Amino acid sequence: MLPYRSLTTPFEQEKYLNRFESLYDEMAKAGFTWATLYENYEEHQYMSDSMLEVPQAMYTEIKNATRAVDAIYIKTFKMIKENPSIMHRLGIPIMLWDLLLEDQSKRFSYFTRYDFIASVHGLKVIEANTDTPVGLVEAAIAQNRLANVHQVENPNERIDRLVKETWDQVIKDYQIRSSDTLYFTAANWHDEDKLTAKYLMQHYPQNTDYIPLEEIEVRKEGIYDPKGNQINFLYRLYPLEYFLHEKSGTGESIGEQFLVNVLEGKVKLINPPQALMMQSKAVLSLITEKKKEWYTRGEQEIIERYFLRTYDHQAGLYSYVKKPVLGREGGGITIVENNRILDQDLDYYQDQQMVYQEYYPMPSQTIDTWDGPYTGRLLIGSHTMNGEPAGLFFRVGEYITGNLSMFVGFTIMK
């Protein structure tokens, strides 16, 4: 368990709530509006005002692990592209295969988040969020405000600069001219996605426009904004596979037509379509299965150090996490410890292909909340931008890290 700084010692609920309300207003003005979340007919606290104190050695190791894991993902991406027949192992809808295999993007993802647990056996990556990673606004805007309140160093202070540098690389790779417009989109009802897209848009150096996903006009000739301007470049914070199910008000398969337009090169997407390929948790089972076949001795050592054994079947494991390959936000997960179910969420994704990942418990962590100190399980998110470690995103929640796990800031222990 990491030590943490508290703004209320001893805890007094009225003082805590007054300070939290003031901090919430400040955060909202800066672009972070989901410090609380309304779910199951009640308001939940999402942001703690505590500040974790992370040892320098641990912080350095997370950055090193992030680089090493990213290198394995890059190698795995290369091997999948060289062995396209293995696509059926990824659990991705067959209608997307041509799009993913034809995509010639230089990187599979420009914005990625790797999730780690700090186990008794060291850092272990449990999944990669390569398609539509969030937690950026927390790591940038909210983290900075919390560091200011606590008057401590902000280790994520370079994240804005790395966003700008990543856009410079995107402009180069996509050959975007200064006269071109990069559109940004997300489901407009979803504040987190919308404001994450707008945060990234703020740091793009050329022409931009935000368009709600619901307002994109899809035609056979391409996709257009409400003014009739054709959209040639689009940053979308919306899962690629969801487009397969999008219908117009008259029942037309506009999502499928959208994907056809992408396949035909009428619009270029960021993150690239191939990001979905690497989002599949089945990639982790391929890394386990192909460890000796695909990877060098040095790469095998990285896999042994940072990856958990993952399979497409139970493989005799007594303690494991059963995960849908394209599940999101903890949906569809079952945790089994010593052949007994520890926790599960069966509301979503039960029709998907599953993987079985070796179970390592997440460490306990205590933080302050408006109900007093809360002890949950700590998950470490590590953002990368264009392959460079960019900033950390800590959450504390239950055994399954879902929507209501709490974000908490961090600093380096002095």
Share of the chain above pLDDT 90, in %: 93
For residues 106 and 368, the model is more confident at 368
Q: Letter for the amino acid at 126? A: I
pLDDT value, residue 274: 96
| CB atoms inside a 10 Å sphere around CB 310 | 25
pLDDT value, residue 414: 82
Structure tokens at 69: 């894991």
pLDDT value, residue 157: 97
Confidence label for 290 from pLDDT (cuts 50, 70 and 90): very high
Sign (positive/negative) of CA torsion 79, 289, 108, 139? negative
Confidence label for 96 from pLDDT (cuts 50, 70 and 90): very high
Average pLDDT over the chain reads: 96
pLDDT value, residue 104: 83
Share of the chain above pLDDT 70, in %: 100
- For residues 178 and 40, give the distance between their C-alpha atoms in angstroms, rounded to a whole number: 46
Q: CB burial class (10 A; 0-12, 13-18, 19+) of residue 104?
A: exposed
pLDDT in tens, 325-350: 999 988 999 999 999 999 999 888 99
pLDDT in tens, 54-74: 999 999 999 999 999 999 999
Closest-CA residue to 99 (of 131, 127, 75)? 131
**Does the pLDDT of residue 408 top 90, yes or no?**
yes
pLDDT in tens, 17-46: 999 999 999 999 999 999 999 888 899 999
- For residues 209 and 198, give the distance between their C-alpha atoms in angstroms, rounded to a whole number: 9
pLDDT value, residue 403: 78
pLDDT value, residue 335: 98
Structure tokens at 264: 């035909």
pLDDT value, residue 102: 87
**Does the pLDDT of residue 402 top 90, yes or no?**
no
Q: Is the pTM of this model over 0.85?
A: yes
**Which residue do the tokens 């569809």 mark?**
332
pLDDT in tens, 112-153: 999 999 998 999 999 999 999 999 999 999 999 999 999 999
pLDDT value, residue 40: 81
